[in-house]
Amino acid sequence: MEIMNAAEAFILLGPPGSGKSTQAEMCRVKLGIEHIDMGAALRKSAQEPTPFGMKVNEMMNRRQQLVPDEIVHAVLENALRDMPRGQSVMIDGAPRRENQIDEVLSLIERYGKRFRKVIFIELAETDSVERISRRFSCLDCGMKLIFGENFFDAKERCPACGGKVSQRTDDTPEGVSRRWKIFHDDTMPVLQYFEAKGQLSRIPGNNAPENIFREIERIITDRLV
Q: How far is the CB of 164 from Zn ion (least distance, A)?
A: 8
Could you tell me the CA-to-CA distances from 164 to 138, 170, 171 in Å, in that order? 6, 18, 17
- Toward Zn ion, which CB reaches closer, 86 or 162? 162
Indicate the DSSP class of residue 127. Answer: H
The CA-based angle 222-94-29, given to 5 degrees, is: 50
Q: How far is the CB of 168 from Zn ion (least distance, A)?
A: 16
ω into 95 cis (within 30 of 0): yes
Q: How far is the CB of 139 from Zn ion (least distance, A)?
A: 8
- Toward Zn ion, which CB reaches closer, 151 or 213? 151
- Toward Zn ion, which CB reaches closer, 11 or 145? 145
- Toward Zn ion, which CB reaches closer, 114 or 164? 164
- Toward Zn ion, which CB reaches closer, 163 or 189? 163
- Toward Zn ion, which CB reaches closer, 140 or 217? 140
Characterize the bridge pairing of strands 113-122 and 200-204: parallel
Q: How far is the CB of 165 from Zn ion (least distance, A)?
A: 8
- Toward Zn ion, which CB reaches closer, 162 or 173? 162
Q: How far is the CB of 48 from Zn ion (least distance, A)?
A: 31
Could you tell me the CA-to-CA distances from 170 to 80, 132, 176 in Å, in that order? 30, 9, 7
Contact residues for Zn ion, defined by CB under 5 A = 138, 140-141, 143, 158, 160-161, 163
Residue 159 CA from chain centroid, whole number: 29
Q: How far is the CB of 158 from Zn ion (least distance, A)?
A: 3
Say if residues 40 and 119 touch (Cβ distance below 8 Å).
no
Q: What are phi and psi of 146, to 5 degrees?
A: -115, 120
Q: How far apart are CA 158 and CA 163, in angstroms?
A: 5
Q: How far apart are CA 16 and CA 133, in angstroms?
A: 11
Q: How far apart are CA 117 and CA 99, in angstroms?
A: 18
- Strand, coil or helix: what is 49? coil
Q: How far is the CB of 151 from Zn ion (least distance, A)?
A: 11
